Chains A and B, each alone.
Chain A
Amino acid sequence: MGNSVWKDTWLITLRSVKTTLRNPFSFIPNLMISAFFLLVYEGGLSGISQLPMFEGANYLAFILPVSIVSAAIGGAGGAGQGIVKDIENGFFSRLLLTPASRLAIVLGPIIAGMLQLFIQTLLIIGIAFLLGLEVETGFGGILFVLLIAIGWGLAFAGYSAGVALRTKNAQAAQAGTFIFFPLIFLSTTFVPYELIEAQWLKVAATINPTTYIFESMRTVLIDGWIFWDLMQGVIAIVIACTITITFAAISAKKAVSRG
């Protein structure tokens, strides 16, 4: 009796994917909002890119990272929501009562959330291509953008899973997600850094790690392989992941412990 950690993780992940698919309202709104960024800003604001600071880049490539990060946050937030749902309806305890690996019980919903994020990101990029996206670095660039999206999503998944495991409460987990949305806007969201006028917003954008995510994606989409510009995003991700995954691991340990 009993399985390996891998088998347990596989079984529990599969289950999480199934429940996500059966609740389309858990991902469709977020996907629509993310697509909305592309459509609206491409439709209404693309004139901005005629400004000299944009150096003729197309606004679609400029706004795409915003859309991707928004989708990533929504997808990764699904990880926390999956865990809270399990805790609230007692299924989490039911799993703890089986010989299943404790790691698998927590990891299943997180992996499912990451899969959700991956697919959402692909869809968003697909829509951008339909709208006429051109990528300076080609296929490799798209892979890099995907990687950044996954990395940033992982950081956020760690955060949302940590909050879920700590609060065990759906409202709290939801509220925890919402504090991330301002991060999207307190950044170089719609205009480049040089064009931000308000000093406070400049400061916010400098501190905000999302800025570095946007910038590295934009570099690869618009400018090309500029090593240090790309590394900014990678470093931001490594730091964020270290913090949030540690937080998730500590919270998970507490949630499955028997104190």
Chain B
Amino acid sequence: MKFQVKFVIFKISIFLTLVPKILVGVIVVNGKIEVEHLSKTFKKGNVQAVKDVSFTVEDGEFFAFLGPNGAGKSTTVQILTTLINATGGKATVAGHDVIREPEKVRRYIGVALQETGVDPDLTGRELIELQASIFGFSKVDAKTRAEELLNIVQLTDSAERRIGNYSGGMRRRLDLALTLVNEPKILFLDEPTTGLDPSNRMAIWKELRRLNEENGTTIFLTTQYLEEADSLAHRISIINDGEIVATGTPRELKAQIGNDLIALTFSTKEEEEKAERILKEHMNSGDVILQNRKLTVYVEDGTKQLLELVRLLDQENIEVATVNLSSPTLDDIFLKITSEQVEKEGEVHGE
């Protein structure tokens, strides 16, 4: 009898110690990011870096935050990764509130900030092993993980060298390896390819695609390069001056902007203004922007419409000085979106 009771207790206690482990295995962490009305005002200089930003990134999605310098990208990343607190709004990362449960958030995310965070006096291998140990890996596991990651970012040959002697591209790759140590559900990458040469950029792109496709890692990437967001992301939000000004798939955004861009210049101011008036009548007025003595026209099919436009202006006796056909850059997108906003606000004020 006594023995049986003991045995049952023994079994229960084994069961109880296993429960948490089973649960951890079963409860799959959802790599979702939910942001509602997020704001951040820096006391210093009273800068409103992020203004009422809301968006959702689904589990497994590759999401890009596209915006120029000073748009508020890094500030958003720092809030979502628990480094700084927002001054307004709410954000949930991997199911946990970034303000109330930062410790839990930190377990499930990997972060590469805009400035790499490495100790130049350690070797690449030592640093990855240290990072793994901090995440609770045993010595043996940390070594194995370091070997794997060095392989992935192709730094095995330089693993025993001090990081102080690494090139910028190598540091970036090492930084990426560090963010992967804990097999994060969500990766935050703040301008991971800015300033890199094409081969390092390609290596990082390739690895990010692999992580997203094979491991289902959610990726939140910020960039100033339209072509980077275009080629990597499922969905893009364009941020300017702390506000999201457009969101969509690359295809949707391009459709909104127009596939091609025709830039016209004229020798006189009168011709410029006349051409602007005519083209605005002829097509969607939001697609025609006159700025800095350059008339920019957003069109669906550049080669076809270029001739049309020039012919139209010719009929009105306007002489075109130069013509340039190109794909829109980030600057063009901003020009278009901000001019649309100004127009909309003008309408509101006009009523």
Contact = CB atoms under 8 A, between A and B. Distances in A.
A167 interface: no
A94 B134 CA distance: 11
B122 A18 contact: yes
Interface stretch (B47-55, B113-121, B237-245): B113-121
B135 A89 contact: no
A258 B81 CA distance: 11
A93 to B, nearest CB: 5
Nearest to B103: A99
Interface centre among A2, A89, A92, A97 (most CB of B within 10 A): A97
A3 B116 CA distance: 24
A22 B134 CA distance: 22
Nearest to B85: A258
B348 to A, nearest CB: 36
A18 B121 contact: yes
Chain A interface size, as a band, is 20 to 34
A196 to B, nearest CB: 44
A259 B111 CA distance: 19
B245 to A, nearest CB: 27
Interface residues of B, number: 30
A100 interface: yes
A246 interface: no
Contact of A93 (B102, B117, B134, B182): B117
A98 B181 CA distance: 10
Interface in A86-127: 86, 89-100
Nearest to A20: B121
Nearest to A258: B85
Contacts of B130: 11, 15
Interface centre among B82, B106, B115, B117 (most CB of A within 10 A): B117
B135 A1 contact: yes
B107 A1 contact: yes
A22 B182 contact: no
Contacts of A100: 134
A22 B121 contact: yes
Given A2-B107, A11-B130, A98 B83 contact: no
A101 to B, nearest CB: 10
Contacts of B117: 89-95, 97
B136 interface: yes
Given A97-B82, A258-B82, A259-B85, A89 B103 contact: no
A93 B107 contact: no
B81 A97 contact: yes
Contacts of B81: 97
Given A90-B113, A94-B178, A98-B106, A2 B136 contact: yes
A95 B131 CA distance: 8
B196 interface: no
Interface in A46-94: 86, 89-94
B247 interface: no
Given A23-B121, A91-B118, A91-B119, A98 B113 contact: no
B84 interface: yes
Given A1-B136, A94-B178, A19 B83 contact: no
A42 interface: no
B122 A15 contact: yes
Interface centre among A1, A22, A94 (most CB of B within 10 A): A94
Contacts of A258: 82-85, 102
Nearest to A21: B121
Contacts of A18: 121-122, 126
B118 A89 contact: yes
Nearest to A98: B134
B256 interface: no
B200 interface: no
Contacts of A97: 81-83, 106, 109, 111, 113, 117
A139 to B, nearest CB: 37
Interface string B126-151: 10001101111000000000000000
Contacts of B113: 90, 93-94, 97
A254 B330 CA distance: 38
A183 to B, nearest CB: 31
A8 interface: yes
A98 B119 contact: no
Contacts of B116: 90
A86 B116 CA distance: 12
19 contacts: A2-B135, A8-B134, A11-B134, A12-B134, A15-B122, A18-B122, A18-B126, A22-B162, A89-B120, A91-B119, A92-B117, A93-B117, A94-B113, A94-B178, A95-B134, A96-B83, A97-B81, A98-B131, A258-B85
Interface of B: 81-85, 102-103, 106-107, 109, 111, 113, 115-122, 126, 130-131, 133-136, 162, 178, 182
Given A2-B103, A22-B162, 14 more contacts: A1-B107, A1-B136, A1-B182, A2-B136, A3-B136, A11-B133, A19-B119, A19-B121, A90-B115, A93-B83, A94-B118, A95-B117, A95-B134, A97-B83
Ranked 9 nearest A-B pairs via Cβ: A94-B117, A90-B117, A19-B121, A258-B85, A1-B136, A90-B115, A91-B119, A22-B121, A97-B111
